[in-house]
């Protein structure tokens, strides 16, 4: 049985981390699979990992301290700033040394890297006999610097897997321009299961899931919900997640007197997320950028219609306007609010869109997506 290693930054909460775990779980009965995680953020991974998957942590004593470092600058604490700066340097040096050492000593037949930095190290230090694959989850968002870094990181890789066909077309052209031999392949992310029962879509609940960071746009979501609440105060908004912008979100909720109408669940297990989704009738996404949007597929698998800003690029690949949900152009808050209010008024419309959403989610099951990965892994070159 051949061996596959997946290089991950950590196994905490996040779309990349969920995708890593889903892939490892899907492949572990066909290959010997290990996840090499740079950091150990918590005692247990955020997502359930099959017992056949081996997990190896490179750094257990230290954790990234970016947020603590930023707070020390904002609050003008010189001693704390120096302390956090020193810690940050130590962590980065350890990350480099430990990851490169792990790559050099790796004896796997196939190595999958999940970040541009790891791509570069894999290309420079990885066993040339191994099948070296990059796996890109982020959208470039027309950022020339980001594009250049990613493309150059793939110079010595065999393949780059991207999560949308539009990204495949884009990077294929970029690789050709720079004369790279690395081939670009589109394989979408997968969801680990389709629920047997769909939401009734009768409950007066809106829902959104993700990390509370700026790019996910949860502050904007509160602004949108304020407009919705002014015209229909009977519905509640459920937010599942946590992160750096939580305090800003909470402050805004209280500023608009929405504390009785917005429920913050924090991070939840998959079973608890399913429970919340099952009691929800509309899914909202206000991300500034989103390469795939696995949370959209999970919501769709429950038969829930989704409303998203078109700036979340991955949403454009999943949502067909007025067929399984709605795409709102130019991050127009009022337009999104009016769209949601229209869905609130029509259970018939919700069910029509939800039925099509559920149908689409079947294209992203483990069975369907695993087949694409097996084809890729069995054919090098």
Q: In terms of pTM, does the model score above 0.85? A: yes
What percent of the chain clears pLDDT 70, i.e. is strictly above it? 99
pLDDT at 72: 78
362: pLDDT strictly greater than 80: yes
**Could you give all domains of the chain from N- to C-terminal order, each with its CATH number?**
3-190+365-378 (3.40.50.2000), 205-364 (3.40.50.2000)
- Distance, CA of 83 to CA of 43 (rounded, Å): 25
381: pLDDT strictly greater than 50: no
- Distance, CA of 295 to CA of 285 (rounded, Å): 9
Q: What is the pLDDT of residues 147-181, one digit of tens each?
A: 999 999 999 999 999 999 999 999 999 999 999 99
Least Cα distance to 140 among 285, 14, 290, 286 occurs for: 290
Instruction: Give the full edge-to-edge strand order of the sheet including 325-328.
Output: 262-266, 236-240, 205-209, 282-285, 306-309, 325-328
Cα 312 → chain centroid: 12
- Distance, CA of 158 to CA of 94 (rounded, Å): 27
76: pLDDT strictly greater than 80: no
Q: What is the pLDDT of residues 172-186, one digit of tens each?
A: 999 999 999 999 999
pLDDT at 74: 73
- Distance, CA of 6 to CA of 82 (rounded, Å): 34
Contact yes or no for 303/358 (Cβ under 8 A): yes
Q: What is the pLDDT of residues 92-117, one digit of tens each?
A: 999 999 999 999 999 999 999 999 99
Contact yes or no for 103/121 (Cβ under 8 A): yes
DSSP structure class, residue 364: G
Q: Greater confidence, 77 or 348?
A: 348
- Mean pLDDT, range 183-212, rounded to an integer: 96
Q: What is the pLDDT of residues 31-51, one digit of tens each?
A: 999 999 999 999 999 999 999
| Res. 85 pLDDT band, cuts 50 70 90 | confident
66: pLDDT strictly greater than 80: no
136: pLDDT strictly greater than 60: yes
pLDDT at 63: 87
130: pLDDT strictly greater than 50: yes
Strand intervals (E) in 245-345: 262-266, 282-285, 306-309, 325-328
pLDDT at 17: 95
Strand intervals (E) in the chain: 3-8, 32-39, 54-59, 110-113, 131-136, 159-162, 183-186, 205-209, 236-240, 262-266, 282-285, 306-309, 325-328
- Which three-class secondary structure state does DSSP give residue 41? coil
Least Cα distance to 264 among 282, 247, 241 occurs for: 241
Using CA of residue 142, residue 143, residue 144, residue 146, what is the dihedral sign?
negative
Q: What is the pLDDT of residues 316-340, one digit of tens each?
A: 989 999 999 999 999 999 999 999 9
| Res. 68 pLDDT band, cuts 50 70 90 | confident
Please give the radius of gyration of the chain, using alpha carbons only, rounded to the nearest integer.
21
What percent of the chain clears pLDDT 90, i.e. is strictly above it? 87
Contact yes or no for 213/243 (Cβ under 8 A): yes
């Amino acid at each position: 049985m051949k061996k596959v290693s997946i290089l991950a930054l950590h196994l905490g909460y996040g779309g990349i981390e969920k995708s890593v775990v889903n892939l490892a779980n899907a492949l572990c009965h066909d290959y010997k699979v290990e996840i090499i995680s740079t950091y150990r953020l918590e005692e247990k991974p955020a997502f359930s990992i099959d017992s056949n998957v081996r997990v190896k942590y490179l750094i257990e004593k230290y954790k990234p301290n970016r947020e603590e470092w930023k707070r020390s600058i904002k609050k003008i604490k010189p001693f704390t700033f120096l302390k956090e700066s020193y810690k940050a340097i130590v962590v980065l040096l350890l990350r480099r040394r430990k990851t490169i050492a792990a790559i050099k000593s790796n004896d796997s037949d196939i190595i999958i890297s999940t970040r541009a930095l790891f791509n570069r190290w894999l290309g420079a230090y990885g066993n040339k006999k191994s099948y070296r694959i990059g796996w890109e989850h982020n959208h470039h968002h027309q950022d020339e610097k980001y594009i250049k870094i990613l493309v150059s990181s793939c110079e010595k890789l065999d393949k780059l897997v991207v999560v949308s066909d539009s990204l495949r077309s884009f990077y294929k052209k970029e690789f050709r321009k720079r004369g790279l031999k690395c081939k670009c392949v589109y394989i979408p992310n997968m969801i680990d299961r389709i629920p047997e029962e769909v939401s009734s879509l009768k409950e007066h609940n809106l829902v959104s899931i993700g990390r509370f960071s700026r790019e996910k746009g949860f502050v904007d979501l509160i602004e949108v919900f304020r407009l919705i609440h002014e015209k229909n105060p009977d519905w509640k908004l459920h937010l599942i997640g946590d992160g750096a912008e939580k305090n800003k979100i909470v402050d805004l909720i209280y500023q608009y007197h929405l504390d009785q109408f917005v429920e913050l669940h924090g991070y939840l297990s998959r079973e608890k997320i399913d429970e919340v989704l099952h009691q929800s009738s509309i899914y909202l996404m206000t991300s500034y950028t989103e390469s795939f949007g696995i949370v959209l597929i999970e919501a769709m698998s429950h038969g829930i219609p989704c409303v998203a800003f078109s700036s979340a690029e991955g949403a454009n690949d999943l949502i067909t306007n007025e067929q399984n949900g709605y795409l709102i152009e130019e991050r127009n808050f009022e337009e999104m609010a009016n769209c949601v209010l229209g869905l609130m008024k029509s259970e018939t419309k919700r069910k029509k869109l939800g039925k099509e959403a559920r149908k689409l989610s079947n294209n992203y099951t483990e069975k369907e997506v695993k087949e694409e990965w097996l084809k890729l892994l069995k054919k090098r070159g």
